[in-house]
Homo-oligomer: A and B are copies of this chain.
Amino acid sequence: MKISAATEQTFLEQVFTAHGFSSEDSNLLADTLVDADLRGISSHGIQRLAWYLNMIKEHIIVPTNKPIILKETPTSLLIDANQNMGHIASALAMRKLIEKTKKSVVSIAVIRNSNHFGTAGYYSRMAAKAGLIGVSNTNTRPLVVPTNAKDAFLGSNAFAFTFPAAPHPFVFDGATSVVSGGKIQVLAKKGEQIPGEWAIDGQRNVVKDANAAEDILSKVAFTKEQPGGGVLTLGGNSEENSNYKGFGNSLVVELLTGILAQGSISADTNTGKHDFSQFFLTIDPDFFGDLDVLKSNVESMFDRIRKLDHTPGTQIMIPGDREYKRYDENKIHGVTIDDASADQIRNIAAELNIPAPEEL
């Protein structure tokens, strides 16, 4: 079924406020989930609500905590998320970086003691709205098996990069691994086969059954028990197609997050600890050339790419094209809620004694 973005926003704000978040934080948290649903990234939308609320119940997330700025200069920022939702410290960091970069061309922030922060692209898109280049990284639970290894160690470690352009910014946003854990979870729920080489078992044999893969992932990500296997790095199962490059990309994010923040590295977050770290970078392209000229050069490059001859039945899409198309459609027709999520939403509403969205 579908609900309108406005209905989703109102409902989520009520839920978060009822759990002790300030109205400002509730508004932000709701917006990040609605934004993900509008873009068709439903793995990071309202279907995560029950999971977040569960972490609040378990005191892993403390809604009344405020982020603490530990260090700050005109170009840099170290923030303690203070065990609250990653979204709150991350939006604060990005707002401050935008101000800083408007004055100093470039600035960076690192967040420690944080939690899941939603889609990485949410924050890099904040920079794009301000005419800036934005980079957003997070580490995650251990899911990804390094080149030649048998055990998961790295996170799926998201990387988002946004560059201002019209009609929409360039938004490259996703796991550095071949796929995110969520993509396998979605197939498992449908009982489908994995189309490509995404997951391996403890002998580095490719696992095609999504439920078998999901079984491996839930163990390696959430328990000390390491049965072996996990998600592949970008580049496949052997060194033949340079899977060490995907490994390198994941390590770059690990170094900029867990290491720079002196928080947990992904490998050490499988025991109930929710100690993730985030990294943000913003650059003012206007230092290098007039922003309108740069944007028009970007747009003309993208148009040339979109128009390249391509294989029959396919389309050449620039990163961001797909999600902005869905955004525009879902803004009109509403966002899709699957049955399981609808049940959860009704239960949450009943528990808090607030009205569930009418459409459900």
Residues of A within 8 A of B (CB): 71, 73-76, 78, 104-108, 110, 133, 146-151, 153, 161, 163, 170, 172, 174, 176, 178-179, 195-198, 203-204, 228, 234-236, 238, 240-242, 244-249, 251-252, 254-256, 259-262, 265, 267, 281, 283, 285, 287-289, 293-294, 297-298, 301, 304-305, 308-311, 314-319
The answer to whether A106 and B76 touch (CB under 8 A), given A163-B255, A235-B178, A235-B234, is yes
- A8 to B34: give the CA distance in the assembly, Å: 61
A235 partner residues in chain B, CB cutoff 8 A: 178, 234-235
- A105 to B195: give the CA distance in the assembly, Å: 44
| Interchain Cβ contacts under 8 Å between A and B, 17 examples | A75-B106, A106-B281, A147-B316, A147-B317, A149-B316, A151-B309, A161-B248, A172-B252, A176-B245, A196-B242, A234-B245, A249-B249, A251-B318, A259-B294, A259-B301, A262-B293, A267-B301
For residue A342, give the distance in angstroms from its CB to the closest CB of chain B: 30
The answer to whether A151 and B308 touch (CB under 8 A), given A78-B288, A288-B261, is yes
The answer to whether A294 and B262 touch (CB under 8 A), given A235-B234, A287-B76, is yes
B305 x A241 contact (CB < 8 A): no
Nearest residue in B to A283 (C-beta to C-beta)?
B108
Most buried by B among A73, A197, A234, A281: A234
The answer to whether A267 and B304 touch (CB under 8 A), given A179-B242, A235-B178, A287-B73, is yes
